[in-house]
Amino acid sequence: MRCAARARAFAAAGALGLAALGCEAGGPRARAESAALRRQAEALHNLLAAVDTDQAFSSRRVTLGIGEPLVRDLLQLALPVEADSAPDLHVRLETAEVAFENGESRVSLRGRVSRASAPATFADLTVHGGLHRFEVGAAEGHVTARVALDRLEVRQAEAEGLRRELVEAVIERLGQPTLESLAAQIPPLAIPLRFERTVELAGRSVGPFQIAPASLRLRVGVAQVVALSGRLWVQLEVAAAP
Amino acid sequence: MRSVKRGLLVAGLLFAGGFAYARFWWGPGPEALEKQRREVRELSARLERRLRERALLRDGADAAVLVGVPAEVADRLAADTVAGLFSGMRVELRDLRFRKSDEVQARLLLGKRSVGRFALSVHVREVSARLHPGRPRLRFGEDRIAVTLPVTVDGEGAARVRFKWDGRGIAGAVCGDLDVAHEMTASVPSRSYSLQGSLRLAVDGPALVATPEFEDVELTVPVEPTAATWRYVEELVASRGALCRAALGKADVESKLKGLLARGIKLTLPRQLVERPLRVPLAVERTVALAGRSLEVEAQPRDVIVTPARLWYGVALALRAPEPPS
């Protein structure tokens, strides 16, 4: 009898130890943040090494520093975006926030998820992602980027008081396809800067001197993008086309 | 006893499982997260410090867009621009006349006497010279970009040479008068010049404009007759009698002609030819359209800063809804 009690006591101690460890740890959100921080640290280490070897912020590249407010305002122009996620969930994203720090461009889109059949039942939602696929458009010469969404967060505090199963359903059912569908509705973000691919010089005669009309073709491409100090630093390769 | 062992085993397994779950699956605790955040902040600050030390980063609080052009890129693009846009410079000269006449004296039996008078005239019908700009050298600093542009001039031309000889005394009797003309081709021997100036930078509306400013450059375009012309002169002299040759030898037609043409044609390279505003091929759009909506972009230029390593300029942008049509 005493042995059984001891065994129970040991088992209880083990369970308590487990509970203590569990309490100290941070859950899925902490895990995601930790993974993001690991990614950022690695990116920053790489950038520091790249700056020292003239691979980042290189003296051979033109730098564009694009501020957060401009990108936020442009992104806001593309909103709202909406998506229906079966069964019975409707997502509408309305406001945008961006942050360009620590080597990462972060995009947060806020909105609501509601029952399609009962729009009054809703929870506030934030979808997180970033900017990617930077390029200089071949036709227009604009610097463009796409928004990728990879994580959603139901803001529990504001969802409290609502039916618990809604929050659970949102977390369970709004998966990657919904995020991709929302991101696909956001058109490429075009920074209102245009690269002229051809520079032209008109001919001119001054006295006996003449200069013939000529043109110079340029090649422009995005070499690297670094998010730092509240700006996206876009490194461009610019060279005369052969 | 067996129950105790079983209890210990269960406790151990629970603890190990819990530890593994907490460590590898459940995620880090607040302290571990804070440590990671601190590491990222420190790395970010270190990177920013390093970039600022090397002037690779700039603040521009109210500039929505900053553009940084490294000196190395500007140098390369300037060379490409000059080669691509300024390689077709020419100077065309027509109807230029050079003339030289003089009395030719020779020591004769009765002392030094005039043996004749010559008049050499060259009518340059046309000279076509090309100006070849070399690789420009740019020096960044002190809010300006200094430019040195080497230019080489060469070309060819056509002229008519006329030589008149009015013989006097014995030379006149044996040589008579001469009036010969010869069409000649000529080359413009290559000469190099160095244009010194700077690039004036200004943000003009949505674009940065670089205007080259150069000092006046005096060019001399010399004309050099071809070998055929010299042969003609030699044959002209050789076809005369000995006394006549001696008199013409005194006139030294060849060196007179050389001297006359070597003076060259003096020209001033007009500034307007190269002082052409060049828009840096990166400009702010006047409108931006996204998802079927269109906004006007108002661009306000900010300072242009030139450091020895980089040229920076900024543009403040404001997005506005377009005015409704009245």
* pLDDT score of A23: 46
The share of chain B scoring above pLDDT 90, in percent, equals 6
In a domain, B126, yes or no: yes
Residues B147 and B99 in one domain: yes
* pLDDT score of A109: 93
Residues of chain A with CATH 3.15.10: 57-198+220-240
In a domain, B84, yes or no: yes
Is the pLDDT confidence value at A204 over 70? yes
In a domain, B288, yes or no: no
Residues B124 and B37 in one domain: no
- CB within 8 Å of chain A, chain B residues 8-27: 8, 10-15, 17-19, 21-22, 25-27
In a domain, B305, yes or no: no
Is the pLDDT confidence value at B92 over 60? yes
pLDDT band at A99 (very low <50, low <70, confident <90, very high): very high
* pLDDT score of A22: 46
Residues B205 and B83 in one domain: yes
The CATH architecture that domain A57-198+220-240 belongs to is: Super Roll (3.15)
ipTM, interface predicted TM-score of the complex: 0.79
How many structural domains are present in chain B? Answer: 2
* pLDDT score of A20: 45
Best B46, B47, B151, B218 member to test A by mutation, with max A CBs in 10 Å, is B47
Residues B130 and B182 in one domain: yes
Range of the domain at B211: 72-279
| Nearest CA distance, A179 vs chain B (angstrom) | 18
In a domain, B241, yes or no: yes
Is the pLDDT confidence value at A13 over 70? no
* pLDDT score of A19: 47
Alpha-carbon distance of B179 to B193, in angstroms, equals 39
Residues B44 and B79 in one domain: no
* pLDDT score of A131: 92
Residues B231 and B158 in one domain: yes
Q: How far is CA A90 from the centre of its chain?
A: 22
In a domain, B198, yes or no: yes
Residues B46 and B98 in one domain: no
Highest-confidence segment of A78-87, B11-20, B102-111: A78-87
* pLDDT score of A197: 82
Give ∠ CA A60-A65-A69 in degrees, rounded to 5. 170
Is the pLDDT confidence value at A216 over 90? no
Residues B135 and B190 in one domain: yes
Residues B46 and B84 in one domain: no
Contact between B48 and A61 using a beta-carbon 8 Å cutoff: no
In a domain, B296, yes or no: no
* pLDDT score of B72: 86
Q: What is the pLDDT of residues A132-160, one digit of tens each?
A: 889 888 777 888 899 998 888 877 545 55
Residues B33 and B170 in one domain: no
Q: Which strand ranges, in their side-by-side order, compose the sheet holding B65-70?
A: A198-201, A214-228, A231-240, A62-67, B65-70, B310-320, B293-306, B287-290
Q: What is the pLDDT of residues B194-251, one digit of tens each?
A: 888 888 888 777 778 888 888 888 888 888 888 888 888 888 888 877 777 877 777 7
Residues B99 and B40 in one domain: no
Q: Read off φ and ψ for residue A94, nearest 5 degrees.
A: -120, -30
End-to-end Cα, chain A, rounded Å: 91
In a domain, B268, yes or no: yes
* pLDDT score of A163: 59
Alpha-carbon distance of A2 to A189, in angstroms, equals 72
Which position has the higher pLDDT, B252 or B32? B32
Contact between B270 and A207 using a beta-carbon 8 Å cutoff: yes
Mean pLDDT, rounded, for B300-318: 82
> Are the CB atoms for A202 and A213 separated by under 8 Å?
yes
Average pLDDT, chain B: 81
Residues B182 and B269 in one domain: yes
